[in-house]
Amino acid sequence: MVQDKTFYITTPIYYVNDVPHIGHAYTTIACDTMARYKRMQGYSVRFLTGTDEHGQKIQAAAEAKGITPQALVDKIHMNFKDLWRVLNISNDDFIRTTEERHIKTVQAMFAKLIAQGDIYKGTYSGYYCVPDETYVPENAMGPNKTCPDCGRPLTIMEEESYFFRGSKYVPELIAFYEEHLKAVMPRVRYNEIMSFLKGGVRDQSVSRTSLKWGIPVPGDEKHVIYVWFDALINYTAAIGYLDDPEMFNKWWPHVRHMVGKDIIRFHCVIWPLMLLALGLPLPVEVIAHGWWTVDGDKMSKTKGNVVDPVKMVNRYGLDPFRYFLLREVPFGNDGDFSELALVGRINSDLANDLGNLLNRTLQMIQSYRGGVVPSCVEPASVLSGLFPEILSRVDEAMNNYSYDEALKIIWEFISRANKFIDETMPWKLAKDESQAERLSFVLLNLYEALRLSALLIAPFMPDTAKRIWTQLGQSGDPLAVQYDAFRWGDGAGANIQKAEVLFPRIDIEQWKKDREMENTAKIPEPPHEAEIGIEDFGKVEMRVAQITKCEEIPKSKKLYKLEVDLGYEKRTVCSGIKAFFTTEELVGKRIILVTNLKPVKLCGVESNGMILCASVKKDGKSEQLTLLMPEKDIPLGSRVS
């Protein structure tokens, strides 16, 4: 049977109200790598990503900002588009659920399902998670009626609703999965979906009357279509379901969805049931990856530990970041993101293994053969013998979406090449004229190992592959080389370029100091104080004053006793700033004083006011501190407002 070389891969479409983080970056980089890999294998590839722009949260966020939801999504969907540019994502299309092509497709499918009786009207009542926009079945609720996914309290909702008769197609879906064991990957997710399906699936409520920001139900505009029913359809809308049958039929039978494990029920139950009802083929594969935590914690805005991919790329470079995400965690498992682990990988795998192999090889070709790759009579070696096996193992791993495994195999090859240098000791051969042929054999083999390694890593690290390629004196783009041409022995005669360091080693001690500095300088995120009105603020009287005297208080490690001049009177104030200033530094400074605080006694001294400072605190203790001072001269006693 001739294998059909068509491959359509999709990311989930991202909620625009979230700030893009490493979780989103991960799904998209994994798809990008697969798309690039398949293109090199000669497949026709289509790679789709996009944004999910309807729903309660957007409506609420727009209301809070006083703008229309459309204006809001027009602006914030760009966060994702911009990130994909930074991450060198090679998507062919980007779909937004507010685009006309999408809205029309959703309405047409909804109308078709109503017409054939697979969508009907009823009343829905159930426990609903407002932030997640999903009803939660009673048997799946968390303790005290909370959402099992996010832990927040559920509310009872009752509304007239359209229902999708998905239950009707469940036996057909089970039969499909029984025949297609790789339709849900990895196996643990397949089992999860099968047992869920066998437990029975109720008809799904697919419209809301409580929400405005969504796609109206055709012919019944007080309902909008439920966000998930709307969102899933993007995969078909983007390839011309409605108006381009040729395009649709080319790609749809070859579709693969990559998703996080949290959204597999939507993709492996609801979506296939919808497709069966619509008479469309089911996805070839739905691949579910695990979740990233950060230093052992769940990422969340409130914890302030959300990792920004752009920051990581700026700090470590794009390809090391891509490499780390795909190499660190067995695909499908959860993973923990730690910058220290990323630095470890850069130093060992990238700088040491790959970087050194390139550097040593190029330097030897330069010194011993004037920068021209030699030929030799019998080029077969342990490396050339190993390569075909490496190639087929990488292919097998990639067919299972085992990115980490594929990278491990490629690095086995790189390590073998490094060992080959140690075994053959070219620097010794170079000193002995009679070993010239053997030296050529060694250099050619190392060159070939590098040339083929560059091709193998190209889908994962496209820029690095290109940099190696150029240094090796090869022309064009390694990504344009087709898999069929991954053959040993094309290198002889190439003129290499000057060796340049691919990945500078990171000095761990310096890195630790930098991170410490950064952490102490980190301003804690919320909780902020509750909002106050201007009338509350007006109750605080603050004035410009000058410090005229400063004395230590013998009983106190922290406090100074200060005399301050307000122009119209002098006061004594105690201030806990001893750790940051000498007495001489303070005398003469013009500061801002809160003048209407009730007097307090501190270490036996009555304090009549408070000096304003800004500080960075850690564990409740100030680590950095500065006085707030007027920017220009202004009479003492002037009021601050």
Q: What is the DSSP letter of 401?
A: T
Cβ proximity to ligand MSP, 284 vs 299, nearer residue: 299
Residue 242 Cβ vs ligand MSP, minimum distance, rounded to whole Å: 18
Q: How many CB atoms lie within 10 A of CB 27?
A: 19
Which of 9, 27, 118, 401 is the binder for ligand MSP (CB under 6 A)? 27
One-letter amino acid for residue 67 of the chain: I
Do 264 and 189 touch, CB atoms closer than 8 A?
Answer: yes
Residue 27 Cβ vs ligand MSP, minimum distance, rounded to whole Å: 5
Residue 148 Cβ vs ligand MSP, minimum distance, rounded to whole Å: 15
Cβ proximity to ligand MSP, 75 vs 198, nearer residue: 75
283 sits near ligand MSP (criterion: CB under 6 A): no
309 sits near ligand MSP (criterion: CB under 6 A): no
Of 260-268, 309-317, 467-475, 592-600, which segment contacts ligand MSP by CB under 6 A?
260-268
Which of 7, 8, 9, 15 is the binder for ligand MSP (CB under 6 A)? 15
DSSP count for the chain of H helices, then E strands: 23, 26
Strands 610-611 and 605-607 come out as: unpaired
3-state secondary structure of 260: strand
One-letter amino acid for residue 316 of the chain: Y
Which of 24, 223, 327, 467 is the binder for ligand MSP (CB under 6 A)? 24
263 sits near ligand MSP (criterion: CB under 6 A): yes
The footprint of ligand MSP on this chain (CB under 6 A) covers a number of residues equal to 19
CA–CA separation, 267 and 263 (whole Å): 7
* C-alpha 60 chain-centroid distance: 25
CA–CA separation, 201 and 178 (whole Å): 17
DSSP string, 11-26: EEEEETTSPP-HHHHH
Of 145-153, 175-183, 258-266, 340-348, which segment contacts ligand MSP by CB under 6 A?
258-266
CA–CA separation, 314 and 150 (whole Å): 31
CA–CA separation, 567 and 611 (whole Å): 16
- The residues with which 259 forms a beta bridge, in sequence order, are 288
Of 13-21, 173-181, 418-426, 562-570, which segment contacts ligand MSP by CB under 6 A?
13-21
Of 17-25, 428-436, 440-448, 497-505, which segment contacts ligand MSP by CB under 6 A?
17-25
Q: Which of residues 185-244 bind ligand MSP (CB under 6 A)?
A: 231-232
Residue 24 Cβ vs ligand MSP, minimum distance, rounded to whole Å: 5
Cβ proximity to ligand MSP, 52 vs 349, nearer residue: 52
80 sits near ligand MSP (criterion: CB under 6 A): no
464 sits near ligand MSP (criterion: CB under 6 A): no
Which of 14, 241, 401, 488 is the binder for ligand MSP (CB under 6 A)? 14
CA–CA separation, 549 and 565 (whole Å): 9
- Beta carbons within 8 Å of 33's beta carbon, 6+ residues apart: 322, 326, 403, 459, 460
54 sits near ligand MSP (criterion: CB under 6 A): no
DSSP string, 529-591: PPP--HHHHHTS-EEEEEEEEEEE-TT-SS-EEEEEE-SS-EEEEEES-GGG--HHHHTT-EE
Residue 288 Cβ vs ligand MSP, minimum distance, rounded to whole Å: 8
The gap between the terminal CA atoms of the chain, to the nearest Å, is 81
337 sits near ligand MSP (criterion: CB under 6 A): no
Binding site for ligand MSP (CB under 6 A): 12-15, 18, 23-24, 26-27, 52, 231-232, 259-260, 262-263, 291-292, 299
